[in-house]
Structure 1
Amino acid sequence: MLMEEDIVDKFYQYTDHPKLLQAEQPFAEILSSSGITSSDVQESSILPPGYGNHTGTASMVSGFLPDEVHNPAFFLNGTVAPEEPISSTYMSMLSSMAFFKGMEEASRFLPTHDGLVDDRGRQNMFDIDGDPMEACLGRSSKEIEVLVHTDSKEEDTTVEMSDLLILYPSEMMKGRGDKAAQQSICRKAPRVRCSAWQMMVADLDTLLIRCAEAVANSDRRRTDDLLKRIKRHSLPTGDATQRLAHYFAEGLEARMAGTGWQLYHSITAAKRASIVELLKGYHQYMATCCFLKLSIHFSNKNIYNAVAGRKKLHIVHYGVNDGHQWPELLRWLAGREGGPPEVRLTGITSPQPGLCPAKQAEEAKCRLSYCARQFGVPFKFRAIIARLEDVHAEDLDIDPEEVLVVNNLFHFRTLLDESLTFDTVNPRDLVLNTIREMRPAVFVHATVNGSYSSAFFKTRFREALHNFTAQFDMMETTMPRGNSKRLLVERDVFARCALNIIACEGSDRVERPQNYKEWQAQNRRAGLRQLPLDPDIVEILKEQVREQYHRHFVINEDGRWLLLGWKGRVLYALSTWTADDASASQLA
């Protein structure tokens, strides 16, 4: 019967049944003997003590009663007036009154904890011993991303509540710490409906993904609404999630406005204007994060081993930048038994927006020449300012008596891929073919392990979000929030790359990393052969991570790759290669 559509009509046809009226009669006598009056009805309430007046409840109760109940003649000293016949309507009214009277009696036994019990006697959603997410949303964590429309008053309440959740996540969500402080925060948080709760606890990652989808669909209205919500809870000086959301929101906004390249250009120019501060941030980053330092040590130790017993060394470095890698190697070579070799360094630098590569190369030359003189190492420096794919083996003046080493630390991520070179050989293959023609003793290949080079924006955005989430979490764990150098590195390194990935397309998108497995296949196609990892070097680097860095840093081997990461996510990969037909004398 409960599954039938006319259940309501069928139910009410039994209300006048004699047996039903006979069963209800004892309850009517109990109610009559208890002396219920109209004033009792007006004063009854289902709210526990301390929850305001009862006016709203009285109105709610009276809404359940028939009109004749409000007639004073209907009740006489707690008994029914004799002239009124006992009807099913009257019996239904008495049952309703009994229900509310029982609720009032039961509410006296409900606990009260400074507002931590709601109007139905349940534990409040903000109880510090409970899980507010589960209390309101149940087990469906995906519902967290649901956005609903509310009126202006509820919207203001939602904003205030979400501010508390974002600004005080540990107090509001973890259920740990000072209990009095958490109760204080809970008292400030107004109670809202479950639908509003879903909106205000929507995490920033979900909002960013929804916003990226709106940008991809050119939905300006929804994009503006989501950006407004994201910006409300993101800032460059907050926690890791807030910082990431701040910069990613900037990228989405610039992409929607079509100003991504201009913004990327301005950040790059500002970076060069603060080179001194950037170097300070670089040293702070090296001290707390192992990725760059291990990569430099890996490269320098392999080069040092390659030149053992030889008198001349030629290093071809793609992306010489400031030359900060080489003083350490020059010092090692200066202390080598038998004296240092002659060192020739050729730096190949691509023109970049907002930078002056010729000036940068000249500064690197002066700095490294000074270091070499101090260490007593014969040193020559040459800079080539050109696109990497435009430099050929014959441009490098290769001397057969020299030990030739090719070095790349993450610079190949800026090479264009086949998505923009349909009718020609893509720049990556051109550069790898040039390296094979050089026939180096060692090609040190360090790559950013990222899969956010997809031509499809939404796929690229999701992958970039996962990768940079690990980067910002690493900074949050290893450096204090108030550290100005941390802010500098995040803005000028991470945010700059993320902005280009999100806001730029075509040739303007210069950040194009790929998975290390893809590089492995591409290197082999170009005629390069991967060399085994030196176990002594690997052990030294692993020991360095264990002794000097945070326990969440990861260093592992996969085949002939040395993988570096954070909390299980591989962020960088290191390997060594040589030409497939290299002679044994070159490998000595």
Structure 2
Amino acid sequence: MAATPEEFLGQQGFLARLEPPSPSLFLDLPPTPRDDDGHSSFDDMVLPYISRLLMEEGTEDHLFYLYPNHPAVLRAQQPFAQILVDLADSASASGSTSSPSSSSDATASTTPSTATASASASASPDDAPVQISRPPYTDVNGHASASPDNHSPGLLNGDEMAKRPSSDLFNHLLPRDEDMLNLAFLKGMEEASKFLPPDITLSINEGTVVGGGNAVSLNNKKRAALALEPDVGRPSKLMMPEQEERKMFDEMMFQEHEICMKGTQNLTAAVDGEPGKNSRKNGRSRKAVDDSEMVDLHTLLLNCAQALSTDNRQSAIELLKRIRQHSSPKGDAGQRLAHYFANGLEARLAGRGSELYQSLLLSRISVADFLKANQLYMAACCCKKVAYIFADKTICNAVAGKRRLHIVDYGLNQGLQWPGLLRMLAAREGGPPEVRITGIDLPQPGFHGAYHIEETGHRLSNFARVFGVPFKFRGIPAKRETVRPEDLNIDRDEVLVVISLCHFRHLMDESLGFDGPSPRDQVLNNIRKMRPDVFIHGIMNGSYGATSFLTRFREALFHYSAQFDLLDTTAPRDNEGRLLLERDIFGRSCLNVLACEGADRVERPETYKQWQLRNHRAGLRQLPLNPVVVKLVLDKVKDNYHRNFVVDADQRWLLHRWKGRVLYAWSSWIAADAT
């Protein structure tokens, strides 16, 4: 018969050496109250139970205090401490060739096989130094920090895929519980890092690790916490990002045109002087491997997608190895495209697309990074400039001679499109009208989901005050299809303008099998019921919203090939804003298109002809394009942007093309029965 714990400890002589006898940690807790009849209601039992849980929070520290270095405890810790020593030795060996200043390079060289071990070893601050960084994805210098191809569970980079046998690679791609824990740990680090100053390197290296017969000190957590206390109470460091963001917003709002034109000139000069400029061709990258082989990344990507669509995993894995060997987030247009498409294909192969995409949404893009990416795109591509000019001129024509204007904006985009309109209205002859903007946007994850909407309202209010425009703002954090006309306080004495610039592609369509109208049709029906003076509709033109994966993949490949080629032609390859744009905007969109299905797939664009039919079915009537506005846009694009940008009109849509491919389109509508 097995010995009881008391008998075992008695045989080892432990009980004789216990001073004092271990008291129960729960003796000081009050007993759970009971009724005299022995019956208690559910509430009467739950509340005391919660109270007891709260009082037991210090149980671990109490145990450590009673027996900090008891031989029985130390002996039980021995095998676990030895594991930590081995992990620390392997980590130091792998990082011995890099200096402390090149920690990002060391992070970039970490493979998925070591990422799990590193995450596990760093899970406790007593074990090894912890570098708190922003997961997941490649940083702007091209190094990976918990990126889908380096650290994200279930994904492999090109070097690792080339070294692994196919069977081992496939086994690695299978979902595992420890991968879920690693992803949760990385999320936790990212969330915790938001409360630290941006330039701090949190290195926790306190305490002793077991070596020979010595044990880890159990009080290292307290010492590590005390070591951090001097940094507490220094809000000036925490305020730096907010001050930088405020400065960037002010520059974009007050000097948007000047910054955009200067940025375009700087990009042109940088691209003209960049080595290898003449070797740039298009997004269809062919890379020489040796004298006898040329790699066509587009063909490899299409073949890999074909293998995935037929569930030929072995072939897909082999093709992904080759794609990873020749793709790069800092290469030419084709290599960058292949890098992000490979991320999506790997996530689909591993069955982790929705999980990874949700983790990216939780690791929201910082406002500073968003502004840098937006500024780069405004300078490199004329699509946003064309959209703002078209919208502003259309609104000014609608409000001409009127004193009150109400704008319902589906998708605020940080409010960056409205300073130009407010400036134009302020300079209007006879004075500006009263302006009211109702911003409808999705709430962000977290406790204060409407914070970004409120901040946008504050910035616009301050800007309008500077230019003397009477202004009111109201934010509605909600799904677009749930907002009804009666929620908007529409006043028929106001000029009502409804606008959406490329946001309706995120609405669900009929492919999900809704009982009634799809969210896409619900929004259009609500707009018709509002009876606006003008509805300005801007769309991203694309056919990669199809249900079939292979069809969707081909269309996405054509669309994003044009986008990456556009940037490769107009922006230097090492530009920080370009790297941010490709990683945080295009990269995560590619992941969603290729690796997600059902309601998790939110990127669902349609062509302008499909939207035209949908708008007509919803009871909307298209307005003709204003020739004055069209000429203004054409002159702006011709004078300031690359010659491969073309703006023309088709079926009352203003089209934006790159090398003949339609990327964006804009139009204006009213209710079909409006006079």
* 2:362 paired with 1:262: no
Taking a change above 3 Å as real, the CA distance of residues 552 and 173 of structure 1, as seen in their structure-2 partners, is closer
Q: How many residues align?
A: 398
What amino acid does structure 1 have at the position aligned with 2:468? G
Question: Which residue of structure 2 aligns with residue 528 of structure 1?
Answer: 620
Is residue 2:233 matched to residue 1:233?
Answer: no
1:171 CA displacement: 8.3
What secondary structure is seen at the aligned counterpart in 1 of 2:356?
Answer: helix
Matched, 1:291 2:291: no
In 2, distance between residues paired with 1:459 and 1:368?
42
1:351/1:505 Cα in 2 relative to 1: closer, same or farther (>3 Å)? farther
CA drift of 1:259 comes to 1.4
Give, in whole Å, the separation in 1 of the partners of 2:520 and 2:364: 27
What is the CA distance between 1:459 and its match in structure 2?
0.2
Matched residue SS, 2:572 = coil
Residue ranges of structure 1 left out of the alignment (5+ in a row): 1-151, 153-167, 175-184, 192-196, 584-588
SS in structure 2 at match of 1:556: strand
Q: Identify if the C-alpha distance between structure 1 residues 368 and 326 changes in structure 2 by more than 3 Å, giving closer, same or farther.
A: same
Q: What letter corresponds to residue 230 of structure 1 in structure 2?
A: I
Per-residue deviation at 1:352? 5.5
Q: Which residue of 1 aligns with 2:313?
A: 220
The residue type paired with residue 258 of structure 1 is G
Specify whether residues 476 and 334 from structure 1 end up closer, same or farther in structure 2 by C-alpha distance, changes over 3 A only: same
- Deviations along 1:28-74, one digit per CA (max 9) or x if unpaired, are xxxxxxxxxxxxxxxxxxxxxxxxxxxxxxxxxxxxxxxxxxxxxxx
Match of 1:276 in 2: 368
Given the superposition, is the C-alpha separation of residues 355 and 218 from structure 1 closer, same or farther in structure 2, using an over 3 Å criterion? farther
Structure 2 counterpart SS, 1:382: strand
Alignment counterpart, residue 482 of structure 1, candidates 574, 587, 604: 574
Q: Distance in 2 between matches of 1:542 and 1:171?
A: 30
SS of the aligned residue for 1:322 comes to helix
Is the CA contact (8 Å cut-off) linking 2:410 and 2:503 kept in structure 1? yes
Instruction: Give how far 1:277 is off.
Output: 2.3
Give the match for residue 368 of structure 1. Answer: 460
Report the residue type matching 1:205 in the other structure: H
Range with bigger deviation, 354-363 or 494-503: 354-363
The answer to whether residue 520 in structure 2 is matched with residue 416 in structure 1 is: no
Q: Distance in 2 between matches of 1:557 and 1:259?
A: 42
Q: SS of the counterpart of 2:670? A: strand
* Distance in structure 2 (CA, Å) of the matches to 1:278 and 1:416: 25
Q: In 1, distance between residues paired with 2:386 and 2:468?
A: 26
- From the superposition, tell whether residues 335 and 459 of structure 1 become closer, same or farther in structure 2 (CA, over 3 Å): same
Deviates more, 1:349-358 or 1:449-458: 349-358
Query: Which range moves more in the overlay, 487-496 or 516-525?
Result: 487-496
Matched ranges for 1:53-64 at <5 A: none
- Shift in Å, 1:354: 7.8
Q: Within the alignment, does 1:350 sit opposite 2:442 as a pair?
A: yes
Task: Select the residue among 557, 577, 581 that pairs with 2:669.
Answer: 577
In 1, are the aligned partners of 2:444 and 2:450 still within 8 Å (CA)? no
Other-structure match for 1:34: none
AA partner of residue 460 (structure 1): R
| 1:544 maps to which of 636, 639, 647 | 636
Cα deviation, 1:124-146, whole Å, max 9, x if unaligned, reads xxxxxxxxxxxxxxxxxxxxxxx
Aligned to 2:166: none
TM-score (norm 2): 0.57
1:455 aligns with 2:547: yes
Is 1:207 aligned to 2:300, yes or no?
Answer: yes
CA contact (8 A) 1:321 1:361 kept: no
Q: Give the letter aligned to residue 342 of structure 2.
A: A
Residues 65-103 of structure 1 deviation map (CA, whole Å, 9 limit, x = unaligned): xxxxxxxxxxxxxxxxxxxxxxxxxxxxxxxxxxxxxxx
User: What SS is found at the alignment partner of 1:455?
Assistant: coil
- Larger Cα-atom Rg: 1
Q: 1:325 aligns with which of 409, 417, 434?
A: 417
Relative to structure 1, the CA distance from residue 169 to residue 256 in structure 2 (aligned partners, 3 Å threshold; closer, same or farther) is farther
- 2:561 counterpart residue number: 469
**So what's the TM-score if we normalise by structure 1?**
0.65
Q: Is the 8 A contact 2:438 2:475 kept in 1?
A: yes
Distance 2:281 2:625 in 1: 46
* Cα deviation, residue 478, structure 1: 0.1
Q: Check if 1:557 corresponds to 2:649.
A: yes
**Selected match of 1:246 from 335, 339, 352:** 339
Cα deviations by residue, 1:504-548 (Å, 9 ceiling, x for unpaired): 000000010001001001101111000000100000000000000
State the Cα distance separating 1:222 from its structure 2 match: 1.3
Distance 1:171 1:435 in 2: 49
Greater Cα offset, 299-308 or 352-361: 352-361
Instruction: Give the 3-state SS of the residue equivalent to 2:409 in structure 1.
Output: strand
Contact 1:334 1:340 in 2 (8 A): yes
- Whole-Å separation in 2 of the counterparts to 1:276 and 1:355: 21
- Unmatched runs of 5 consecutive residues or more in structure 2: 1-162, 164-275
Deviation at 1:355, TM superposition (A): 10
Q: CA 1:498 to 1:444, structure 2 compared with 1: closer, same or farther past 3 Å?
A: same
* Contact 1:268 1:354 (8 Å CA) reproduced: no
Task: Return the offset for 1:320.
Answer: 1.2
Q: Distance in 2 between matches of 1:427 and 1:340?
A: 36
Q: Distance in 2 between matches of 1:354 and 1:403?
A: 36
| Match of residue 302 from structure 1 | 394
Partner residue in 2 for 1:48: none
Superposition RMSD in Å? 2.4
Structure 1 residue 450: Cα displacement: 0.2
Q: Secondary structure at the match of 2:516?
A: coil
Identity %: 56
1:568 aligns with 2:656: no
Q: Which amino acid aligns with 1:220?
A: R
Task: Kindly indicate whether residue 446 of structure 2 is the aligned counterpart of residue 378 of structure 1.
Answer: no
